[in-house]
């Protein structure tokens, strides 16, 4: 009976992942064919890669359950980078590669105050002008560092019995790592939210809200459903089955959900990151140079170093 259930789960996860990867690949291909705005579309393609990476990672983790902690490192690393790419996309929309244009727009925006509850610990007004851009960059990039670092710490602790997903014990590492990661992602989304709030009017023609919701859905679904599943394990509603340990079942449920969710996200991406606005322009770069530009780490490192001086106010 369990073997039949396992086969059904793998089929559902496999088909969902395959369709998700297929839809994303078609959309990426369309952007490459009509690659008329490299500064913007390079970031879009980078964000679209989230679906194939998440879908393939989750299916591999489900099929080869003992490899899950190691395979998930790739997903954790790219997750933080994708969040940074979203901010870079908004900057690309406004400045088309020229950050000074974005700073000029920010200088004309009225000053804002920190929203609750961040205003309780971040005293004074919100940074303004160039300092605000540095604040937003640092807020997103800190998560790009925290997420993979947390995954690495978990890998180190696991062999010593100090880390197990869903273990709420104060003597294990999962509770503390989850708290730090949640705090980090909340701060990152706060910075992105404030960036949109301040630049809401100039960003309106680019329809950023559906794009933001797609990114937020991927990150928050994967994190919070993990917390919920861990709670169900704690209540003994999820337990070992067949040759799968409780931890395997817990991780398997989450991987199955992610595979199915990636199909939904891939469909949403066709609307949020449509290629239609770029189809009238002439392609300006080939695919090889796109990959070189998109996966180059220089701009992210530069932004992190620059943002480090403006992360708080």
Q: Of the segments 18-32, 99-113, 267-281, which one has the largest average pLDDT value? A: 18-32
Residue 270, domain member (yes or no)? yes
Q: What is the pLDDT of residues 23-67, one digit of tens each?
A: 999 999 999 999 988 989 999 999 999 999 999 999 999 888 777
- Which range marks the domain in which residue 90 is found? 2-307
CATH of the domain at 231: 1.20.1070
Q: Is residue 312 a part of any domain in this protein?
A: no
- Res 2: pLDDT: 60
Q: What is the pLDDT of residue 286?
A: 53
pLDDT over 70, % of the chain: 88
Q: How confident is the model at residue 88 (pLDDT cuts 50, 70, 90)?
A: very high
Where is 44: in which H helix or E strand? helix 38-48
Average pLDDT estimate for 215-239: 83
Q: Please state, in angstroms and rounded to a whole number, the distance separating the CA atoms of residues 281 and 35.
A: 8
The whole-number pLDDT of residue 312 equals 44
Q: How far is residue 49's CA from residue 214's CA, in Å, rounded to a whole number?
A: 13
Which residues have a Cβ under 8 Å from the Cβ of 256 and sit 6 or more positions away? Answer: 9, 12, 13, 58, 62
pLDDT at 282: 60
For residue 138, tell me if it sits in a domain: yes
Residue 278 domain flag: yes
Quick check: is 93 in a domain? yes
Task: Tell me the whole-structure pTM to 2 decimals.
Answer: 0.84
Confidence of residue 294 (pLDDT cuts 50, 70, 90): low
Quote the pLDDT of residue 302: 53
pLDDT at 264: 96
pLDDT at 299: 53
Angstrom CA distances, 227 to 121, 234, 245, 271, stand at 26, 11, 18, 30
Classify residue 296 by burial, with Cβ atoms within 10 Å: 0-12, 13-18, 19+: exposed
- pLDDT (0 to 100) of residue 1: 57
pLDDT at position 313 is 42
Distance of CA 263 to the CA centre of its chain: 16
* pLDDT tens digits, 115-167: 777 777 777 777 888 998 999 999 999 998 998 899 889 889 988 888 877 77
Instruction: Give me the chain's average pLDDT, please.
Output: 84
Higher model confidence: residue 2 or residue 279? 279
Residue 313 counted as domain residue = no
What total of structural domains would you count in the chain?
1
The token pair at 216 is 């937020």
Residue 6 clears pLDDT 90, i.e. is over it = no
Pick the residue with more confidence: 221 or 38?
38
Asked if residue 233 belongs to a domain, the reply is yes
Mean pLDDT, rounded, for 71-76:
80
């Amino acid at each position: 009976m369990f073997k039949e259930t396992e086969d059904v789960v793998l089929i559902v996860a496999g088909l969902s992942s395959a369709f998700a990867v297929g839809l994303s690949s078609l959309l990426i291909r369309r952007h490459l064919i009509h690659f008329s705005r490299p500064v913007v579309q390079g970031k879009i393609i980078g964000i679209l890669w989230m679906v194939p990476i998440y879908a393939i990672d989750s299916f591999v983790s489900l099929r080869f359950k003992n490899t899950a902690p190691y395979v998930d490192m790739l997903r954790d690393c790219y997750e933080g980078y994708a969040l940074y790419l979203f901010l870079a996309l908004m900057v690309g929309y406004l400045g088309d590669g020229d950050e000074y244009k974005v700073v000029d727009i920010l200088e004309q925006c009225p000053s804002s105050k920190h929203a609750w509850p961040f205003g309780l610990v971040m005293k004074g007004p919100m940074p303004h002008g160039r300092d605000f851009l540095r604040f937003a960059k640092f807020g997103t990039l800190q998560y790009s560092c925290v997420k993979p670092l947390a995954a690495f710490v978990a890998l180190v602790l696991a062999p010593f019995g100090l880390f197990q997903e869903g273990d709420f014990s104060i003597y294990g590492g999962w509770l503390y790592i989850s708290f730090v990661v949640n705090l980090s992602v909340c701060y990152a989304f706060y910075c992105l939210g404030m960036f949109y709030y301040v630049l809401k009017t100039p960003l309106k023609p680019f329809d950023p809200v559906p794009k933001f919701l797609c990114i937020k859905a991927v990150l928050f679904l994967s994190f919070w459903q993990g917390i919920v599943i861990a709670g169900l394990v704690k209540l003994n509603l999820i337990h070992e089955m067949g040759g799968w340990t409780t931890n395997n079942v817990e991780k398997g449920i989450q991987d199955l959900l992610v595979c199915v969710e990636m199909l939904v996200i891939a469909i949403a991406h066709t609307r949020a990151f449509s290629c239609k606005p770029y189809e009238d322009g002439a392609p300006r770069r080939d695919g090889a140079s796109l990959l070189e530009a998109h996966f180059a780490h220089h701009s992210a490192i530069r932004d992190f170093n620059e943002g480090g001086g403006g992360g708080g106010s």
